[in-house]
Amino acid sequence: MRPMKAIRQRYEIRFSGSGGQGLITAAVIFAEAAGVYDGKFVCQTQSYGPEARGGRSKAEVVLSDSPIDYPKALNLDLLLAMNQVACDAYFFDLNASGLLIVDSTLVEQYPTSRIIPIPFTGIARDELGREMVANMIALGAVGHLCHRVTLENLEKALLNRVPKGTEKLNQEAFRRGVEEAEKCNLQDLPRSILTETDEV
Amino acid sequence: MTIPAQAIRHKYLRHNKKFPHVWCPGCGNGIVMAALLRAIYRMELSKDEIVLASGIGCSSRMPTYTDFNTLHTTHGRALTFATGLKLAKPSLNVVTIMGDGDATAIGGNHFIHAARRNLNLTAIIVNNSIYGMTGGQYSPTTPFGSKSTTSLYGHIEHDFSIAELAVTAGASFVARATVYHAALMDKLIEQAMRKRGFAVVEVISNCHVQYGRRNKLGGAVEMLKTYRDNAVTVKKAEKLSAEELAGKITIGVLTDREMPISTEEYKKVRQRANEAEGEL
Amino acid sequence: MISDLENKRLLLQGNEAVAYGALAAGCRFFAGYPITPATEISELLAAELPKVGGTFAQMEDEIASMGAIIGASLAGVKSMTATSGPGFSLMQENLGYACVAEVPCVIVNVMRGGPSTGLPTCPSQGDVQMARWGTHGDHPIIVLATSSVEDSFSITVKAFNLSEQFRVPVIILSDEVVAHTRECVQLPELKRIRIVDRIRPSVPPDWYKPYEGDNRGVPHMAAFGDGYRHHVTGLIHDEHGFPTQKENEVLHFQNRLTQKITRGFPEIMMTRNFMLEDAEVAVIAYGSVARSAYKAVEDARKQGTKAGLLQLITLFPFCRSQVTPVLEQCRAVLVPEMNMGQISREVQRVNQGKSIVVKHNRIDGNFITPQELYTQLVKL
């Protein structure tokens, strides 16, 4: 069993990329797993409307062990960027000890050395034959790396939410994402030069 | 069937409540109301199951005088209230009464969509070619060239033909009568009320006070005579050319067709929804 | 189906919670017209109402939607519509009809940036005064504001109850943030939810006066088709429901219409207090902005400022009896809103020199953040 971290305060995740990459779906699944199955307090929001279609798209999940007042992200703990535009736009919303996970198939310029690049789209296209499941690979990686959701429940929520007949493909993608994430050692990531308490 | 006029008055009018009525002497609205009551009498409907709903205008005062469930709504919206009533309680027999401006100007959108939606409703539209209650402004059925208080120098727009509009919009039953043809009118209203589907009866009526006077059409009697002289039956009209039909009023049943009605279809929706629920 | 969801933990959007709240309250008729950001309410009810014997209708516009729900309510069925600013503007005429003919119904307005087409996908609280005064003429109305998914469920139930109890349209103001945020809620057991129904006449039909107020000033309501034939009109009417222009009858009617709500103030006016006991400065907020205010108050307390929050659930009738003590207690009060000051003017009206009322307004389509409130709060 993976060690689960307590969420004393808020823990904020943003799934970002372009419209059509399935980021809202990923966020909703995450929120359902953490909220309904794990029993945490969650707030899930998204950018909505024309912006979400084609352009920059973001969906957020705020997690907490106590009721959540402000529903949107204030200071990200984890940012998933599925393209360059989103990475550039949202990187500075991430706190200094937060995790940046990028789709290295589509993000070429990294804004920091503290980064976890995984070629989600590449894996989806080349190994699974369907580019559209990149979001589920990413969901697996986010789920594993954030340590704030049980993976069993995340998978369960995923199987509940995806269209009938696509369960197997999505499950495979999800597990592939977890597998990729397992290769990363968070301890090896560069750290902020100041300690967490020094950061304002 | 002989119609006992006094018995009908006693049975259906709220005679102890709000008479005298607001209509001018000679107004066609009384003829329409009488025809409606005769139709209801013949159909032997219970007063409790009938809703008479109206919009705003002279003819829309009719529900006030009749002893049914009566609903005097906002201008042009009678059909929207009626739609809610009928969908929520399909057992009600809902009749709407509207004027030409009410039904086809401010309520024009509701009218065509009610026809398209095809609920089991009856819409009686009293068409007197003018806004009477507000003092004689032109309406969507005021003929080209006519005078009104807002077209003092002759009307420059073209008029709607309400019955034909209803046919095109998809009503199940459409008929037209004039207030001169009172006996025909109450038969048409009865047919409309018996029809399963959206049924429209357009009644050409006289507003000698606001419309006739300004256009030198004479008083009530003269206007009714004009209706008599200009009316042609649907059958006869079929044989006439467009030129010959100019200025004529086609009376009778214009359309009578069978189409699925939405309250019945909604029952199937409920069934399908529950089946879908079962599959989950 | 809603009965399958009892006691279950669900991840719902605010809009979905409104729809489930309506179902739980006994709503069996919905008419609406598609509009962002309210559409999910229609979509969910289109799927769920037929399963419980209810009816969903998509009308040709919001005017028709409002007319249809009045018609359905007159037939004895609890009814609702949902819309956003532009549609709410169109509903005003028939909303007034529902007020004057005393037809219970619930109208949800998921506010978006205005005026006109405005900012369809951005949050706003710009329709607060329209909810109160949108339809012409003096009229009684109840306006409630929801701030979370859980609220959206319970406030919708409450809206139906108040509407039935007072025979008045109740407006629920939601906003784009509340409407589209997903949160976990546990739907209560349906039979544990207190439901209120309109009182139907118990006298024989011949004795029935459809617009005679009872001891509360609220007339008993017969459904069309139940044997109590009566007349319903938007004209000012007498106790029998027939149009009147007689001064004494008009006055009697108008007074009763206002007083039935006045008498109900204690039940209608709902607020929430947070850290107000020893507060020296306070925030008065409602809707999604109240959530930012909770956080700002917490942060201000940590910094040493004795801050508190009064969250308004009922916006109208305005909660004078709850707002007044806060104004008397605090040296300054901050009223943040996503409009140019629509509730702050109500606070100022009640204030009359008791405290300093500071407005904080935002109409750029962005949600007010806790930081900006914190900054204001510690300066007060």
How many CB atoms within 10 Å of residue A186?
Answer: 10
Instruction: Give the DSSP H or E segment for A61.
Output: strand A56-64
CB crowding B32-52: b at 16 or more within 10 Å, else e: bbbbbbbbbbeeeeeebbbbb
What does the angle CA C213 – CA C214 – CA C217 come to, to the nearest 5 degrees?
A: 55
- pLDDT value at position A4? 62
Residues B89, C66: C-beta atoms closer than 8 Å: no
Look at residue C13 and give its three-state secondary structure.
strand
pLDDT tens-digit readout, A76-128: 999 999 999 999 999 999 999 999 999 999 999 999 999 999 999 999 999 99
Q: What's the mean pLDDT in C120-139?
A: 96
| Cβ–Cβ under 8 Å, residues A171 and A158 | yes
The pair of structure tokens assigned to B181 is: 């043809």
Q: Which residue of A has its CA nearest to C181?
A: A45
Q: What residues of chain C lie within 8 A of the CB of A43, using their CB?
A: 181-183
CA-angle at A19, arms to A184 and A71, nearest 5°: 75
* Helical H segments across chain C, by residue range: 14-25, 39-48, 62-74, 85-100, 128-133, 149-166, 176-180, 247-262, 265-268, 289-303, 320-329, 344-351, 370-379
CA distance C321 to chain B (A): 36
| Amino acid letter for position B59 | S
Residues of chain C with pLDDT > 70: what percent? 100
Residue A135, both tokens? 């979001």
C78: left (phi over 0), alpha (psi -120 to 50) or beta: beta
Q: d(Cα C370, Cα C289) in Å, to the nearest integer?
A: 9
Residue A195 pLDDT class (50, 70, 90 cuts)? low
* Rounded Cα gap, residues C377 and C380, in angstroms: 5
d(CA C55, CA C73): 12
**Which of B49, B69, B84 lies at the smallest CB-CB distance from C72?**
B84
Q: If residue A16 lies in a helix (H) or strand (E), which one and from where to where?
A: strand A11-18
Confidence of residue B4 (pLDDT cuts 50, 70, 90): confident
Q: Dihedral sign for Cα B127, B131, B136, B139, please.
A: negative
Asked if C228 and C208 touch (Cβ cutoff 8 Å), the reply is yes
Please report the pLDDT score of residue B278 as a whole number: 78
The per-residue pLDDT of chain C, averaged, comes to 97
Beta bridge mates, B202: B125, B176
CB contact A132 to C (< 8 Å) = no
Say if residue A196's pLDDT is above 70: no
Q: Is the pLDDT of residue B226 over 70?
A: yes
Helix (H, G, I), strand (E, B) or coil at A42: strand
Assigned token pair, B199: 């049924």
Boundaries of every domain in chain B: 5-279
The angle, 0 to 180 degrees and rounded to 10, between the axes of the packed helices B5-12 and B29-43 is: 90
CATH pick for B5-279 out of 3.40.50.150, 3.40.50.970, 3.60.20.10, 3.30.2320.50: 3.40.50.970
Quote the minimal CA–CA distance from C13 to chain A in Å: 9
Could you give all domains of chain C from N- to C-terminal order, each with its CATH number? 2-192 (3.40.50.970), 272-379 (3.40.50.920)
Rounded to the nearest angstrom, the minimum Cα separation between C183 and chain A is: 5
Banded model confidence at residue A200, pLDDT cuts 50, 70, 90: very low
The percent helix, strand, coil of chain A (3-state, each to 5) is 40, 20, 40
Provide the pLDDT for residue A6. 59
Question: What is the chain C residue with the closest CA to B52?
Answer: C231
Residue B71: how many CB atoms within 10 A of its CB?
Answer: 26
Q: What pLDDT does residue A192 have?
A: 80
Q: Contact, C168 vs C261, CB < 8 A?
A: yes
Tokens of B69: 């469930």
Does C110 lie at the interface with A, CB-CB under 8 angstroms?
no
Provide the pLDDT for residue A193. 78
Residue of C176, C181, C367 with shortest CB distance to A44 = C181
Predicted confidence band at A54 (pLDDT cuts at 50, 70, 90)?
Answer: low
> Is the CB of residue A70 less than 8 Å away from at least one CB of chain C?
yes
Say if the Cβ atoms of C231 and B82 lie within 8 Å: no
> Which tokens sit at B216?
């030198």
* B17: chain C residues, CB-CB within 8 Å: 240, 242
Q: What pLDDT is attached to residue B220?
A: 97
If you average pLDDT over residues B220-230, what whole number do you get?
A: 97
- Given a cut of 60, whether residue B2 has pLDDT beyond it is yes
Average pLDDT of chain B, as a whole number: 95
A124, A126, A130: which is closest to A165 by C-alpha?
A130
Average pLDDT of chain A, as a whole number: 91
Task: Check whether B131 has a pLDDT greater than 90.
Answer: yes
Q: Measured at the alpha carbon of residue C17, what is the angle toward residues C12 and C21, in degrees to the nearest 5?
A: 150
Spatial distance between the Cα atoms of C104 and C73, rounded to a whole number of angstroms: 7
Q: How many Å lie between the alpha carbon of A61 and the closest alpha carbon of chain C?
A: 9
Min Cα separation C362/chain A (Å): 16
Residue C143 backbone phi and psi in degrees, to 5:
-125, 125
Average pLDDT over residues C138-150: 97
Cβ distance B89 to C225 less than 8 Å, yes or no, reads yes
Strands B50-54 and B93-99 turn out to be: parallel
Q: Is the pLDDT of residue B217 over 70?
A: yes
Q: What is the pLDDT of residue C194?
A: 96
DSSP assignment string, C246-289 = -HHHHHHHHHHHHHHHHTTHHHH--EEEES-TT-SEEEEEETTH
Q: Can you give B64-106 as a three-state secondary structure string? A: HHECCEEEECCCCCHHHHHHHHHHHCCCCEEEEEEEHHHHHHH
In this complex, the residue of B73, B83, B270 whose CB is nearest that of residue C234 is B73
Interface of C with A in 175-194 (CB under 8 A): 176-177, 180-184
Tokens standing for A103?
Answer: 């789709």
A with C: how many residue pairs have Cβ under 8 Å apart?
A: 66
Residues whose CB is less than 8 angstroms from the CB of residue C355 and which lie 6 or more positions away in sequence, other chains included: C326, C327, C328, C330, C331, C332, C333
pLDDT exceeds cutoff 90 at C181: yes
Q: What is the mean pLDDT of residues C78-105?
A: 98
Q: Where are the alpha helices (DSSP H) in chain A?
A: 23-32, 84-90, 120-126, 134-146, 151-161, 167-182
Mean pLDDT (whole number) for C107-113:
97
Task: Indicate whether A39 pLDDT > 60.
Answer: yes
Lowest-confidence region among A178-192, B85-99, B154-168, C347-361? A178-192
Q: Which helix (H) or strand (E) holds B62?
A: helix B62-65
Tell whether the model's pLDDT for residue A49 goes beyond 60.
no
Q: Residues A59, A48: contact at Cβ < 8 Å?
A: no
Domains of chain A: 11-119+149-163 (3.40.920.10)
Taking residues B184-189, report their average pLDDT.
Answer: 97
Closest CA to C356 of C377, C340, C373, C334: C334
Contact between A62 and A68 (Cβ < 8 Å): yes
Question: Distance between CA B170 and CA B173 in Å, rounded?
Answer: 9
